[in-house]
Structure 1
Amino acid sequence: MRLALAMTILALAITPQKETAVYDRYGGLLTLKGTRTGFFHVEQIRDRWWIVTPDGHAFISKGVCHVSYTADHAPSLGYSPYGRVTEAKYGSAQAWAKATAERMKSWGLNTVGAWSSPEMHAQGLAYAPILNVAASIERDLWLKGGVVDVFAPTFLEGARRVAQSLCAPHKNDPWLLGYFTDNELRWGADWRSKESLLQTFLKMPPEAPGRKKAEELLKARGTSGDPTPEDTAAFQRMVAEQYFRVCREAIRAADPNHMVIGCRFAGYSPEPVLQGLKGHVDIVSYNDYGFEPPIRMLERIVEITGRPVMITEFSFKARDSGLPNTRGAGLPVDTQQDRADKFESYVRKLAALPAWVGYHWFEWCDEPKEGRFDGENSNYGLVRIDDTPWEILTERFARLNPQLEAICTAARADRDRE
């Protein structure tokens, strides 16, 4: 009897035991605790900003945009090449979503980003939908750089309608990370227009509420001739404050539980806009396609708004992919190895920022070589059109992602020692 007991104890001692989980069920770090509220939120823990999971643990959002069953439609073909592959391979969006979620988790990812299939919202991953508040009012807003009259009753009504339709049904879902209000709105002169917001609003019909606001501002500032740069900045701030306030109030009325995570700035965020945004978002979202992260810009955003930041689009495309890479943001690198190296370097530098709380890679699948709706034809994907992964890149994701929390906390410790 004693011999049998001794043998049992010895067997237990030499049998490998399952390690304690590092993360909670949402992907939050078990060893770093925040406030448990039942929903994702942000708070500062040990002088660093973190997203905090519903269970109360520190979380870095490691996500991918456009995790879509059909991906991009190619107008010249009349169909989606990736969609044909996934339909043949999986048979249904639900089966594809289950398999895709498992792949994402194996690569250390924990968040489904904007423009993703709704089937991805119930796969044990946080998700962050885009509402398209302004874009629901004016067609081709992103493509053409149009501007919505945010002072018009139609904008207020539209924001409330969108929030009731898209937010209210999810208000009790703990897996919902937060809402993007729009994508890459035009806040002034950019690649789509050379006009300032003030110039655009002054061209609206005389009865437009936005034009009246612009004229009232100029009158109050004593400007009778051409607007000054100071006039332009003051109106820019006024428009931003109205836009973000209306969006936040509409979302909060429909869903008081989840974060508002901004409008995904398109590589520039004018200071007057940031001043108008202050107090109306939980996280400032920023899209960037440079080889290096825009560290100084992100630091300035934090200084002005007092909020943490998230990179919600970035990517690297390679010439060895066989895709044209002639349309779409960012310059190409030479190889898939370069893509992986750029990814790691970029994210490690972000992790050194005490107010950085996550990244969303653009995107799940490569664009069709024939071009999507706007002609983009680039190697942005984690997977090819045939649904096979870019192994060098995804292996780097799988290796780096589990280290990110430690990199963030180590960077904090290094700053404390300086």
Structure 2
Amino acid sequence: MTNPRCFWLFLCAIAALMCPETGRAAAEPPPQVLWDFSRPFNTTLIQTTDAQATPQGGRALLVETGTKHPYPGVTLKAPRERWDLSRYRSVEVFLKNTGTSNVTIHCRVDNPGADGRTNCANGSLRLEPGASGVLTVALSTTPWRLSAPLELIGMRGAPGQNERLNPANVTQILLFAGNPKTPHRFEVTQIRAVGGVTTLDAKTFIPFIDEFGQFIHADWPGKIHSVAELASRAKAEEAELAKFPGPTQRNQYGGYTGGPQLKATGFFRVEKYQGKWWLVDPEGRLFWSHGVDCVTPSSPTPISDREHYFRQLPPADSPAGRFYGSGGSAPHGYYQDKPRFRTFDFAQANLLLKYGESWPQVHADVSHRRLRSWGMNTIANWSDAAIYEMRRTPYTANLSFRSKMVEGSTGYWGKFPDVFDPEFARGIRSAVERQRGRAVGDPWCIGFFVHNELSWGDDTSLAVAALQSPPEQAAKKAFLEDLQTKYGDIAKLNAAWQTTYATWDDLRRSTNRPNLKAAGADLRAFYTRFAETYFRVIRDALKEVAPNQLYLGCRFAWVNDAAAMAAAKYCDVVSYNRYDYSVANHRLPGNLDRPTIIGEFHFGALDRGMFHTGLRPTANQEDRARKYAEYVRGALRNPQIVGTHWFQYRDQATTGRFDGENYQIGLVDICDTPYPETIRAVREVGYDLYRIRLSAP
């Protein structure tokens, strides 16, 4: 009988030989200079908005922005009414911050009718005082364009999709600051179009994903072309891990043995040491959490309705057939309304090819050794319990649970839980109890995150949502009790809120949106009560069941001061998912001095066969690595931040996860190959972690 694994490998090899990559890029065109301020230029083509633009003696254009307009800056018109940049990949703007404060400079490249969202492309660059840099704006969403329109489903980014700019008809370029609180000064020396794009034949574009889950129509450093290459990568990495076993002066947890010996409690805790917040490990050593989310072998992609995108999906009865699965209830994207859809996991299939049948154990072992070698010390949110429960690397756990929601609320990930309903307290208590014998009481568990990226809105939103909910909503009942206690008579509330309710029952039955100005004080008061109840109920449940472990907050993405202050009151560490280029100056509101942690950040580029950069784009892998080091160094200088967790360990599938995200954000790619540029940066910062932190002013 034919060995099914050998037969599958044979199919992979034949597919690779028969379908080589196509559509390689032509030679890049030479850069096209759009504005050169070191030479004479036509000042009539420059318009200002709450700004001054002054030539600097044949050297640069000085832009000085005000604070009256939300977007003060300059508009640079095309000298001949338009530029045809259809041959180019991006626009580069050479800048210097000549002011005395940090500035984020935004650039918008416009077609006629641009409004900031449509008919334009955008980019930004943050510069410290005296710093110079290059701001890059991509003219198309990927380095590839299609010869004709082609609808591709289930992906946030893909060639020819979601284009918002026609590069052949660029009429102006805007440079501006966004909602500045202080004036800024910056110089522009040159603006140019650079890089080339590849036009792919739409008729032959599909299939565009190979048997390893990679893009077919391009090649790049690190791309896998055969099963033999997977094996050779594993062997080469073993040599690298032996060469870089990990930083010195670290204990088993990754705490700093070259620093002070503090009180050892057997669990992680927080302490302020020499003016900076720190985690302290179970042995009493200073610990700064340098980690990564989603340490897991899995990265499934939906295949329903698009099986033809893939060159060679394996037979169901082959060894890789075990990696077919199903999904449902996607919150966004093409599969949002699909109750069930089929998936395939190229990441796990590649691990089988790379490591053989023992791949789960080998991958888990390699993951721990990688993190140590890279100078990382934390397996962070949404990671595989089978990996972190090996207790070789400290980890964070995540608690989630079902409870009734505030029906009048809305949010990117869904409605907000009703913290006044008894089901909320029961839910969190049950979630913690389920961790007994696992994360609860485990000294390797730093602490618990609860929820992720809830929609906190502004400081009235949850109160408004309660009022717009049905009469039986617990949050609405709680709010009305507060109002009845304050006003007593409905007529007094009507006078204050400028309403005409006949009775309190009328208000209870109403779902009308209140007058925010008239009712603002009451709305804000209940919002604060709502937020504090949320954090207090969770804190109490955690400390009752897991008294020795840290409550790490809810991973703020959208937040206001009232919610952040409530978190600081009840959380051991306040967590933020902060997708910026720097968090060096990130602070809690109201001069609160509490420890914070970055639960997510990332950068991506499009020079390795992926279709989307993620939330913070970079020019290429070297730039991505540089941005990583700058971000973590900035966090190390911040006295409140006790750790950064990169999102995520592995690239998302080229064709997208359940909600279409298909970002180049991994430390390793879909074939389990580490990105060497980024790993060098991770290792450089990780090995020097404690010196940087301790020496920061």
Structure 1 position 177, deviation (Å): 0.6
Q: Give me the TM-score of the superposition, normalised by structure 2.
A: 0.52
CA distance in 2, matches of 1:142, 1:369: 27
More strand, by proportion? 2
- Counterpart amino acid of residue 637 in structure 2: A
Indicate if the aligned counterparts of 1:237 and 1:276 stay in contact, CA closer than 8 A: yes
- Map 1:83-232 onto structure 2 (within 5 A): 83-90=348-355, 91=357, 92-121=359-388, 122-133=390-401, 143-167=412-436, 169-188=438-457, 196-219=461-484, 220=486, 222=493, 223-224=496-497, 225=499, 226-227=515-516, 228-232=519-523
Match of 1:281 among 555, 565, 571: 571
Q: CA–CA distance in 2 between the matches of 1:352 and 1:302?
A: 20
Rounded to whole Å, the distance in 1 between the matches of 2:384 and 2:608 is 25
2:608 equivalent to 1:314: no
1:372-411 map, 5 Å? 372-411=657-696
Deviations 1:346-383 (A, max 9, x none): 11111111121110000000011111111101101000
Distance 1:129 1:79 in 2: 27
What SS is found at the alignment partner of 2:652?
coil
How many angstroms does 1:73 deviate by?
Answer: 3.8
Q: Distance in 2 between matches of 1:21 and 1:62?
A: 15
Q: Which residue of 2 aligns with 1:4?
A: none
Q: 1:270 to 1:111 in 2, by over 3 A?
A: same
Query: 1:348 aligned to 633, 638, 653, which one?
Result: 633
Query: Alignment partner of 1:170: what SS?
Result: coil
- Residue 302 of structure 1 contacts residue 308 of structure 1 at CA under 8 Å; is this kept in 2? no
Matched pairs, number:
382
Offset at residue 302 of structure 1 (A): 8.0
Who is 1:3 aligned against? none
Deviation, 1:170, is 2.8
Deviation at 1:123, TM superposition (A): 4.3
Alignment correspondent of 2:591: 303
Q: Which residue of 2 aligns with 1:28?
A: 255
Deviation at 1:396, TM superposition (A): 1.1
Gaps of 5+ in 2: 1-245, 308-342, 488-492, 500-514
What is the identity, as a one-letter code, of the residue corresponding to 1:253?
E
- State the structure with more CA Rg: 2
Q: Given that residues 261 and 283 in structure 1 are in contact (C-alpha distance below 8 angstroms), is that contact kept between their aligned partners in structure 2?
A: yes
Would you say the 8 A contact 1:74–1:368 is kept in 2? Answer: no
- Comparing both chains, which one has the higher relative contact order based on Cα–Cα distances under 8 Å and sequence gaps of 6 or more? 1
| 1:352–1:21 Cα change, 3 Å | closer
SS at match of 1:205: coil
CA RMSD of superposed structures (Å): 2.4
Look up the match of 1:240: 531
What's the CA shift for 1:32? 2.4
Q: SS of the residue aligned with 1:51?
A: strand
Query: Residues of 2 paired with 1:171 and 1:27: CA distance?
Result: 20
| Structure 1 gaps, min length 5 | 1-18, 413-418
Query: In the alignment, does 2:262 pair up with 1:52?
Result: no
Q: Distance in 1 between matches of 2:418 and 2:437?
A: 25
The letter of the residue matching 2:398 is I
Residues 91-100 or 40-49, more deviating: 91-100
Q: How far does the alpha carbon of each residue in 1:303-360 deviate from its partner, in whole angstroms, 9 at most, with x for none?
A: 33x320111100000021211107x4x2321200010010111111111111211100
TM superposition shift of 1:26: 0.6
Does structure 2 retain, via aligned residues, the 8 Å contact 1:75–1:371? Answer: no
User: Amino acid of the residue matched to residue 263 of structure 2?
Assistant: T
Any conservation in 1 of the 2:404–2:421 contact (CA below 8 Å)?
no
Cα distance in 2 between the residues matched to 1:164 and 1:21: 38
What residue number does 1:252 align with?
A: 543
Please state whether the residue corresponding to 1:375 is helix, strand or coil. coil
Alpha-carbon distance between aligned partners in 2 of 1:232 and 1:124, rounded to the nearest angstrom: 48
Equivalent position of 2:617 in the other structure = 332
What one-letter code is carried by the residue in structure 2 that aligns with 1:34?
L
More helix by share: 1
Give the whole-Å Cα distance in 2 for the aligned partners of 1:301 and 1:57: 29
Q: 1:376 to 1:406 in 2, by over 3 A?
A: same
Cα distance in 1, alignment partners of residues 281 and 608 from structure 2: 37
- Percent identity between the aligned chains? 34
Q: Deviation string for 1:81-111 (max 9, x for gaps)?
A: 2122223334343331111111111111110
CA drift of 1:238 comes to 1.2
1:171 positional shift: 2.6
Output the CA distance in 2 between the equivalents of 1:136 and 1:99. Answer: 38
**CA-CA distance at 1:138 after TM superposition:** 6.0
Structure 1 residue 218 displacement after superposition: 4.2
8 Å Cα contact 2:636-2:692 kept in structure 1 = yes
Secondary structure of residue in 2 paired with 1:406? helix
Amino acid at match of 2:281: T
**Do the aligned residues in 1 keep the contact of 2:449 with 2:552 (CA within 8 Å)?**
yes
Q: 1:166 to 1:82 in 2, by over 3 A?
A: same
Q: Equivalent of 2:290, from 52, 62, 71?
A: 62
